[in-house]
């Protein structure tokens, strides 16, 4: 019983099917390695970097020109996972891990990470293309401008995690009670601002990040009201990932995942007593409160405490 309960907790492991953070990390890193490998091939075959940029990057990055984008619609997908510079992917993957893990812990495997990442990237691209073509200062750059990277998706995760659990705490070993999530988010914003304004980065990338942050807020604001915009994306990923599984096993696994999606609710459900609450489960919840604060508890964990208190009152 104790092992079964612990398996519900999100953790970073390559074989954890429910861990969306791991899947996103692997996808981004795989694309980075693939692009790096192709670039090396181009160098070895004496094609040169200009040929690599023309043949590969031009068909991977999102163009700012709408007419060019219409001829390369697949870049809407490829651009959100593509990186070519080591520090770009290193920074994005560190923050993806941090904020993605916070979301998984708070939402109890509610499978928010991938939909929020994808919606944030789409919104960031929409802001980028629209802003580049409407803001006078950016219009001259449109024919030669393009972008790629996980920036908007990670920004959506950062804002989403902060909106979902503004008083939540992480890293309890760093300071007593842990570090508030909003402090981590401020550090994230500060580092990105420094990279753009002091590091010589292009101001146009702010459009991309702004779009991701906007979607992160809107997505979580609706989720807290009980509306999950990402359900259909999770269903698509599930069906594609289990296309060769037997029907019975597929349906059983989907039912288990659907049940785990109820980990966070905007409003508490009526109390329902379901048998005796194991003592070790109560201890785990109390440890979580001590480490991260009561605001990080999922609705399921709050119901468990409520059941335990009712049972305790019945025994007195």
d(CA 155, CA 260): 25
What is the average pLDDT across 220-238?
A: 76
d(CA 274, CA 190): 47
The arrangement of secondary structure in 16-235, i.e. its CATH architecture, is Up-down Bundle (1.20)
When mean pLDDT is compared over 10-14, 195-199, 309-313, the highest value belongs to 195-199
Range in 2-6, 28-32, 138-142, 273-277 the model is least confident about: 2-6
Give start-end residues of each CATH 1.20.1540.10 domain in the chain: 16-235
What is the average pLDDT across 75-97?
A: 94
Q: Which pLDDT score is estimated for 209?
A: 94
Task: Identify the CA nearest to 219 among candidates 300, 298, 122, 295.
Answer: 122
Give 75's contacts (C-beta < 8 A, 6+ positions apart): 59, 60, 61, 62, 63, 69
Handedness of CA 222, 224, 225, 231 (dihedral sign): positive
* Mean pLDDT taken over the chain: 78
What is the average pLDDT across 160-186?
A: 81
When mean pLDDT is compared over 116-130, 186-200, 275-289, the highest value belongs to 116-130
Q: Which pLDDT score is estimated for 179?
A: 81
Q: Which pLDDT score is estimated for 5?
A: 37
d(CA 158, CA 189): 9
Q: Categorize the per-residue pLDDT at 270 as very low, low, confident or very high, splitting at 50, 70 and 90.
A: very low
Supply the pTM of this predicted model: 0.72
């Amino acid at each position: 019983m104790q092992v079964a309960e612990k398996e519900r907790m999100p953790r970073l492991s390559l074989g954890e099917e429910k861990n969306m953070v791991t899947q996103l990390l692997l996808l981004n890193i795989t694309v980075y390695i693939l692009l790096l490998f192709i670039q090396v091939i181009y160098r070895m075959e004496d094609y040169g970097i200009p040929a690599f940029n023309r043949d590969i990057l031009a068909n991977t990055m999102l163009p700012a020109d709408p007419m060019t984008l219409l001829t390369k619609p697949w870049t809407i997908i490829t651009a959100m996972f593509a990186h070519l510079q080591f520090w770009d992917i290193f920074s994005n993957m560190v923050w993806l891990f941090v904020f993605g893990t916070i979301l998984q812990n708070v939402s109890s495997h509610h499978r928010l990470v991938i939909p929020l990442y994808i919606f944030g990237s789409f919104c960031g691209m929409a802001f980028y293309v629209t802003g580049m073509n409407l803001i006078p200062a950016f219009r001259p750059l449109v024919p030669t401008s393009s972008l790629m990277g996980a920036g908007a998706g990670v920004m959506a995760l950062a804002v989403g995690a902060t909106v979902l659990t503004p008083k939540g705490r992480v890293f309890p070993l760093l300071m007593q009670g842990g570090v508030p999530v909003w402090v981590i988010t401020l550090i994230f914003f500060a580092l990105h601002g420094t990279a753009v304004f002091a590091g010589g980065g292009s101001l146009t990338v702010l459009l991309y990040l702004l779009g991701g942050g906007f979607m992160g807020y809107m997505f979580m604001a609706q989720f807290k009201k009980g509306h999950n915009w990402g359900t259909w994306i999770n269903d698509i990923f599930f069906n594609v990932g289990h296309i060769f599984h037997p029907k019975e096993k597929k349906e059983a696994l989907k039912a288990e995942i659907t049940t785990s999606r109820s980990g966070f609710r905007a409003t508490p459900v009526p109390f329902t007593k379901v048998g005796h609450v194991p003592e070790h489960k109560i201890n785990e919840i109390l440890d979580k409160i001590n480490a991260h604060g009561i605001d990080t508890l999922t609705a399921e964990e709050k119901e468990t405490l409520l059941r335990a208190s009712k049972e305790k009152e019945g025994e007195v």
